[in-house]
Every structure is written in structure tokens, then in C-alpha cells.
Amino acid sequence: MYRSIFRPGLFAEKVVIVTGGGSGIGRCTAHELAALGATVALVGRTPEKLAAVAAEIADSGGLAQAYPCNIREEEAVQSLIAQIVSAHGRIDALVNNAGGQFPALLKDISRKGWEAVVQTNLTGGFLMARECLNQSMQKRGGAIVNMVADMWGGMPGMGHSGAARAGMINFTETAAFEWARYGVRVNAVAPGYVASSGLDAYPPQMREIILQAGKQVPLQRMATESEISAAIVFLLSEAASFVTGAVLRVDGGRPNVRLGFPLESERSTPAFSGFHLARQPKVLAEREPE
């Protein structure tokens, strides 16, 4: 069972959608919400990945179902939400976590590549949120968390993703205002470097290089997936019942680094993970003995 920092039963009777639920931060958030009593609808493009996470959650005694869907397709999103509402009666919360990009300089990005990234990271999230609002939350209230990124001041090598995610923040702010009248809170979480299961696919040498990026962070390490899911779950929960239109940075202070002020490293903060070792991303499990 996932060991959440939050009160047991906090999400009992709640129906929560997590997009990008087949891996990484989405998988971790789904585990945490299920451990807190939620019924989790796992959305993503790859049915096998969703089924594997649903099975992990069922093994731990939680409730989760796989709903394969491409969030870029408007009609598919409309029928996905109709299907979830008819199966569970309502949607209490949405974690708009599905995302994807490829590293490239702006000068080399084709129109097709740009539009694909904007559709996944901005338009897809808008469609999911709009349908949750129109098909359930408008009547019963709810909470939405949009995942963005540490793209403050630009995102060299990922300009398409940075532009889409900056757009997602503005969408969050507008939706927070327009949907407050329905009792719907809309917030964003901006993670920095995360040692996520997505890194497991990289060759070990490459993984080590990425892990070294943690040295550039004031708190002297990368985040665990659980440190991101805790922020998401906080914003979805009653603990944040007066928070809307906010962006919660979970990045160890990375954007606060300034030229001319060297990072002093006396100690790093202890990392928190709710996963048992066996379910930890390999990238962290391998480092556990240190």
C-alpha cells in the first residue's frame, strides 16, 4: 500500500481522473489517491501501461480503472468523460498530467512538431477540463490540478513545451475565475527535476548525468515522484479549499538560483517517498543504499 502523508480516507467516495496515469508522476498520484480511498480513472494512450497500474492499485486494495484515450481528440475526450460519468455518477477531481515533448531548438522545430506538443500539453488539458466542467463539475463542484513545468524565464531546448505550459498557467488563472461560481477550484503544480520512472527507460550512464542535475538545485537533489504527488493531492483536498488560481512550484528552489551566487552544499533535505522499494522508480531504488 502506498504510504501517503495525508489522512486515511481523505478521498473516500471521490472519483478522480488522472491523465498520463500509466507512468511517472501520474502513476504515483494515482497510487496515492487510491490509498486515500479515491476511485481513480486512469487515462492515457497506452492501454497496457494503464492496465498495469490499475492492477498494481488493485493489488494494494485500491480502486482504479483504465480508460485509454488520446486527449488531443475532442470527440474522444467528450465520450471518455461521458463514459466515466455514467460509470461512477460524477467526477470530483481532475489531474491534468498527460504531457510530452521532444528536445529541440526552436529553429529546428517544424510546425507539425510544435502543434503536436501544444495539442498534448495545452489543448488536451483544456478539453479534459472543459468536459469535466460541462458534464459534471458545473452541477457538483470539483477541483482541477494542471501540471506545468519549471519553464520560468524560458525553456531552452524545449521551447514548444515551455510555451504550451505557460499557456496552461494562464488557462488555470482564467478557469479559476470563471469556474469559481460553480464551486470548482483550478490550480497548477510546476515540478522541477524529478527522478521519475520515465528515467528508467534511459541507459544507466544517461540516467546518472540527469541525476547530476540535482546538484544545480538549492535543495541539492531531484524531487521524488511522491513529493510532486503530495502537492497535487494537497491542492485537490479540503486542505486547499480556499486556494484557486495558484501555481505551486515544487522545484527545490531551482528558479531562485542567481548568477554570481554559488550554490553552497552543506546538506540536502531528506527525500520523501510513499512507495515501497519494489514500486519505486528504478532510478531511486538503485540509489537507496547510499
Which residue from 244, 136, 132, 238 is spatially nearest to 188, judged by alpha carbons? 244
Three cell numbers written together for 18: 488522472
130 contacts ligand ADE (rule: CB under 6 A):
no
116 contacts ligand ADE (rule: CB under 6 A):
no
126 versus 234: smaller Cβ distance to ligand ADE: 126
Sole window of 70-78, 87-95, 190-198, 267-275 interacting with ligand ADE (rule: CB under 6 A) = 70-78
Q: In sequence order, what are the residues at sequence separation of 6 or more whose Cβ sits closer than 8 angstroms to the Cβ of residue 271? A: 221, 223, 224, 227, 284
How far is 191 from 220, CA to CA, in rounded Å?
A: 15
Which residue from 191, 194, 185, 193 is spatially nearest to 246, judged by alpha carbons? 185
93 versus 240: smaller Cβ distance to ligand ADE: 93
How far is 18 from 67, CA to CA, in rounded Å?
A: 10
Q: Judged by CB under 6 A, which of 29, 38, 39, 44 binds ligand ADE?
A: 44
CB of 261 to ligand ADE, least distance (A): 37
78 contacts ligand ADE (rule: CB under 6 A):
no
How far is 70 from 120, CA to CA, in rounded Å?
A: 9
Sole window of 64-72, 180-188, 240-248, 265-273 interacting with ligand ADE (rule: CB under 6 A) = 64-72
Q: Judged by CB under 6 A, which of 4, 16, 19, 252 binds ligand ADE?
A: 19
71 contacts ligand ADE (rule: CB under 6 A):
yes
Q: Judged by CB under 6 A, which of 120, 136, 226, 237 binds ligand ADE?
A: 120
Q: What are phi and psi of 131, to 5 degrees?
A: -70, -40
CB of 201 to ligand ADE, least distance (A): 14
Distance of alpha carbon 119 from the chain centroid: 17
β-bridge mates for residue 158, sequence order: 104
Binding site for ligand ADE (CB under 6 A): 19-20, 44-45, 70-72, 98, 100, 120, 124
